[in-house]
Amino acid sequence: MKKVLKYVITIALILVILFFVQKLFMPKYVSDVTEGRLIAEYYEEEMDHDILFVGDCEVYENFVPAMLWTDYGYNSYIRGSAQQLIWQSYYLLEDALRYEKPDVVIFNVLSMKYNEPQKEAYNRMSIEGMRWSKSKVDNIYASMTSKEHFIEYVFPLLRYHSRWSELEEEDIEHIFDTDVRFHNGYYMRVDAKPAKDVPGGEILGNYQFGDNSYKYLDMMTKLCKENDIELILIKAPSLYPYWYPEWEEQMEEYAKKNDLRYINFLELQDECNLNWDEDTYDAGLHLNYYGGQKVTKYLGDYIKNEIGLKSRRGDEKLEKIWNEKLELFNSDLENKLRELEGE
Amino acid sequence: MLFTSYEFIGFITVLFILFYAIPKRFQWILLLAGSYIFYYLARPVYVAYIFTTTLVVYLVALKLDQKRAFQEAYLKEHKDELTKEEKKAFKAKEKKSRFHWMLLGLLVGLGILAVIKYTNFTISNINGILSAFGSSATLSFVDIVVPMGISFYTFQAIGYLIDVHRGTIKAQRNFFKFALFVSFFPQLVQGPISRYQDLSETLYKEHKFDSKMFTFGLERILWGFFKKLVIADRMLIGVNALIKDADTYKGAYVFVGMLFYALELYCDFTGGIDITIGVAQCLGVNVTENFMRPFFSKNIKEYWNRWHITMGSWFTDYIFYPITVCGPMLKISKWSRNHLGETIGKRVPIYLSSFVVWFTTGIWHGASWNFIVWGLGNFVVIMISQEFEPLYHRFHNKFHLENNRPYQGFQVIRTVLLMSCLRTFDCYRDVPLTFKMFGTMFTEGNYNVIFDGSLLNIGLKISDFIILFIGVIILFMVSMFQRKESVREQIYRISYPLKVCIWFGLFLMVIIFGIYGIGYDATQFIYNQF
């Protein structure tokens, strides 16, 4: 018995140390590449959203959930990460449906252009923040590049061990940091960099979206239908990467065939009143807060008028949550504006 | 499946569990199945090669055994009928017949090795000769897959065949058991080259789980991982940078690269062997040790008795001795004693046999001239030191250096430097370039680069150098502890908390400081290529 206890204590101690070491080595995404925190923040939420966005940076930088609440009374959340591939969006949606059932899901279709796993760094940002579930396992297997190993997702220390020579104070300071830094998945930027000389699209050998992309789009459509969710496909108004007419054609056709709504914001720039001198912070790739407000207004109006989603203003619990969120949002906005002025 | 891959760790974990979970009489069958699966996973076509060698050697060894049994039975049966001369003639006839059978086995086994490994080398030499004679004709190279560990398993099988021929061992009657001896997966990749009488002792036995042995095995595996991932693969970054840009890295850089390569090779090879021995030990199988702290050798001869021991003893037993006592060599010996005098004459057969051994050692390591020159370089150095031995002896006696510590230190450093110099042929893998680069060590005069931070431009950061320094210190300390007795035995006796600290500390070092995963390219063990 004494011997068994000795081994149990040893194993427990080793596991605790390994846990700490692993936490220490994992990137904290605090001062750099902060988007890495986006996916994990979702689990800190009260999961009762009316609208769920899934997609890449074209959603988490272009739509403002705070505005959807203040102006329309919609409780929304963005499950997006950098270069989030379509299967990652699918599994993040599948994962979210374990906790809640939104009325509307909005998917940005840019990722249709990627039929294969792309970059390990982006995979990490999209997958690591997920809680363990079958969706996460499937997501890992769908996303891994040839050099990646499943076990390195299970034990991220095996992936991040090489950070030993780059560890900083921040890694110790934020070792267990789960603070929410984004606003319902929205990445706020207030600076502006006019879009000038936006490059056109290069000629491609093949404009057909891949089978894998369609497979996951079909799965997402099916999942939403099974759960009685309104799936809206969108193409955010980013000028770059270039959105080809051939791609647009395929999406329009898909939406028509599957009886889905499809909004291409690139064609609604005038309706949204977008000004590419002021509304983007990186010359047309992503919108800043001002641009985000404009397209969010269009989207909010669309959901209100076309889908008829009811406002939830007056829901005490939600009001309370959003009051706190808005306080943080406004303070963050003020800070960012102050920083900008300081520059 | 690299030894340092996740797949290998998963593979051995499953195998260990199954090995002790199934009935003991099936354990060797599981090992055979595991070994073939291991080989199949490396590349399915490899299985055909190893199976052919196994089958041929198995059948020929059986035939040799049958013929020996027939000889004994015949002589016993006709004991009274045969005259002494008739018996002698019968024995000679049978011996010749057995020799022919063995030759057949050798031809097939070594033939496969030769064709696979040396065809393109031969073609490139023929092309070189044709070109030297002004011919524009060239032979095309052939696309041949070199099976993993072919040199190791072929030599192991051939050694077995020769032992059966000599009558020192009985042929294994069970084909599958013999197949396990040839293919036992931990040593398939980079040796050691085991002898049948040594390996079979524990290979086919029924094994009960022994926690001490199992722990020892795991410790050895962990130690192998430390040497390979923390030291060897980190050194490799620097070595690659220095070798690939020979125009930039001359002089002192060659000296640094030479020492780095010597240490990298040592940690890479011994690390692999540690994993081999550790895995086998976890399975209750004793595999022959292949190293005995070679960098503590005081001369080259001693070094070769401590480095790749099983290969050295294989060449001695199956090449050096047979050549030394074969008919033509005895004739040469007699002729040279008569014509060149006793002093020189008695050396001729040894020189010739040694030459063959070192030439073969060189070409065994790789089908290229750099390996041959490296092998012959060793031959020259060993022969010279052998000739100068009486002189050394007198010198040592005169100055009382026999047990002089500082002098012994000097001898050790001298041996390390000498071996490292020879290894530069292996390093650059190009004979003229090696000579050129070696020369720059004495002409460039840039030894300040060792201290002025220039070495931080070869892909290693200061933190890497610190890890390497600590790694080498640990390596040195372990070697010092080993002089008394096995380090694992010493660890076994210390208190449990300290023991756990050592294990876990080493484990953490491997996990954190190991060169593996994304951002680092998984590197093969150097000896996998041989």
Whether B456 has its CB under 8 Å from any CB of chain A: the answer is: no
Number of A:B CB contacts under 8 A? 37
Inter-chain CB proximity A152 and B517 less than 8 Å? yes
B513/A149 CB distance under 8 A: no
What distance in Å separates the CA atoms of residue B82 and residue B87, rounded to the nearest whole number?
6
Q: What is the pLDDT of residues A251-280, one digit of tens each?
A: 999 999 999 999 999 999 999 999 999 999
Question: What is the average per-residue pLDDT within A57-79?
Answer: 96
Query: Does residue B511 belong to the interface with chain A, where contact is any CB pair within 8 Å?
Result: yes
How many other β-carbons are positioned within 10 Å of the β-carbon of residue B260?
27
What mean pLDDT is predicted for residues B238-250? 93
Q: What is the Cα–Cα distance from B279 to B198, expressed in whole angstroms? A: 17
Do the beta carbons of residue B427 and residue B257 sit within 8 Å? Answer: yes
A225-242 pLDDT, tens digit per residue, is 999 999 999 999 999 889
Among the partner residues B463, B513, B517, nearest to A158 by beta-carbon distance: B517
For B517, which of A14, A162, A165 is closest by C-beta distance? A162
The residue-averaged pLDDT of B17-34 equals: 97
Give me the helices (H) in B388-430, please: 389-398, 405-428
Distance CA B5, CA B14 (A): 15
Range with lowest mean pLDDT among B4-8, B177-181, B285-289, B397-401? B397-401
- For residues A31 and A291, the answer to whether their CB atoms sit within 8 Å is no
Q: Is A41 on the interface with B (CB under 8 A)?
A: no
- Answer yes or no: is pLDDT of B237 > 90: yes
Q: What confidence category does residue A198 fall into, taking pLDDT thresholds of 50, 70 and 90?
A: confident
Among B8, B468, B508, B511, the residue to mutate for chain A (most A Cβ within 10 A): B511
Over residues A146-174, the mean pLDDT reads: 93
pLDDT at B394 over 60: yes
Query: Among A138-147, A255-264, B78-87, B243-252, which is the least confidently predicted range?
Result: B78-87
**Residue-level pLDDT at B521:** 55
- CB B512 to CB A161 under 8 A? yes
* A281: Cβ contacts below 8 Å, ≥ 6 apart: A189, A190, A191, A192, A193, A287, A288
Smallest CA–CA separation between B511 and chain A, in Å? 7
Contact A120/B at CB under 8 A: yes
Query: What token pair was written down for B60?
Result: 């020929």
- Cα–Cα distance for residue pair B159/B346, rounded to 1 Å: 28
- CA dist B1 and A187 (Å) reads 43
Q: B319 vs A95, B245, B313, CA distance in Å?
A: 67, 39, 10
B500/A6 CB distance under 8 A: no
Mean pLDDT, residues B204-225: 96
Look at residue B523 and tell me whether its pLDDT is greater than 60. no
The residues, ordered by sequence, that sit 6+ positions from B278 with a Cβ below 8 Å of its Cβ are: B216, B217, B218, B219, B220, B221, B222, B223, B224
- Decide: A237 and A279 in contact? Cβ < 8 Å: no
pLDDT in tens, B34-88: 999 999 999 999 999 999 999 999 999 999 999 999 999 998 888 888 888 888 9
How does residue A116 score in pLDDT terms, banded at 50, 70 and 90? Answer: very high
Residue A343 has pLDDT above 70, yes or no: no
Confidence category of residue B222, pLDDT binned at 50, 70, 90: very high
pLDDT level of residue B525 (50, 70, 90 thresholds): low
Residue A199, pLDDT score: 81
Q: In what order do the strands lie in the sheet containing A261-264?
A: A76-80, A51-55, A104-108, A230-235, A261-264
Cross-chain Cβ contact B518/A161 below 8 Å: no
pLDDT-based confidence at A1, cuts 50/70/90? Answer: confident
**CB contacts, 8 Å: A158 with chain B:** 511, 516-517
pTM for the structure as a whole:
0.89
Question: Over the stretch B195-205, which tens digit does the pLDDT of each residue have?
Answer: 999 999 899 99
Contacts with B518 from chain A: Cβ below 8 Å: 120, 147-148, 152, 159
Return mean pLDDT, chain A.
94
Q: What value does the CA radius of gyration of chain B take, rounded to a whole number of Å? A: 25
Q: Which residues contact A70 (CB under 8 A, 6 or more apart)?
A: A326
Give the model's pLDDT for residue B530.
Answer: 52
Of the partner residues A14, A159, A165, the one whose CB lies closest to the CB of residue B461: A165
Tell me the mean pLDDT in the region A100-115: 96
Q: What pLDDT is attached to residue B524?
A: 58
A-chain residues within 8 Å CB-CB of B508? 21
> Closest residue of B to A15, CA-based?
B504
Tell me the average pLDDT across A166-173: 91
Question: Quick one: pLDDT at residue B488?
Answer: 93
- Who has greater pLDDT, B134 or B372? B372
Task: Convert the pLDDT of each residue in B447-472 to its tens digit.
Answer: 999 999 899 999 999 999 999 999 99
**pLDDT score of B383 more than 60:** yes
In this complex, which of A17, A120, A164 lies closest to B518 when CB atoms are compared? A120
Residue B290 tokens, joined = 């292949």
Which residues 6+ apart lie within 8 Å of B16 measured at CB?
B282, B283
Rounded to the nearest 5°, which phi and psi values hold at A22? -60, -45
Chain A interface test: which of B518, B520, B523 (most A C-beta within 10 Å): B518
Percent helix, strand and coil across chain B, each to the nearest 5: 75, 0, 25
Give the nearest chain B residue to A18 (CA atoms).
Answer: B508
B126: helix, coil or strand?
A: helix
Q: Mutate which of A118, A143, A158, A160 to disrupt the B interface (most B C-beta within 10 Å)?
A: A158
* Per-domain residue ranges of chain B: 6-208, 297-429
Band (pLDDT 50/70/90 cuts) for residue B366 is: confident
CB proximity B465 to A under 8 Å? no
- Give the model's pLDDT for residue A263: 96
Mean pLDDT, rounded, for B361-386: 92
Q: Answer yes or no: do B517 and A14 touch at CB < 8 A.
A: no
**What integer pLDDT is reported at residue B515 of this predicted model?**
94
Tell me the mean pLDDT in the region A122-143: 96
Tokens of A189: 């930027």
Q: How far is A223 from chain B (nearest CA, A)?
A: 34
Instruction: Give the residue-averaged pLDDT of B468-489.
Output: 93
Smallest Cβ–Cβ distance between A161 and the set B6, B461, B517 belongs to: B517
* Domain annotation for chain A: domains and CATH numbers: 2-342 (3.40.50.1110)
Question: Over pLDDT 70: what percentage of chain A?
Answer: 100
Whether residue B198 contacts residue B181, with contact meaning beta carbons closer than 8 Å, is answered with no
Partner residue opposite A149 with nearest CB, options B6, B461, B520: B6
Position B134 confidence tier, pLDDT thresholds 50, 70, 90: confident
| Residue A149 touches partner B, C-beta closer than 8 Å | yes
pLDDT for res B310: 95
Residue B474: is its pLDDT beyond 60?
yes
Rounded CA gap, B50 and B511, in Å? 35
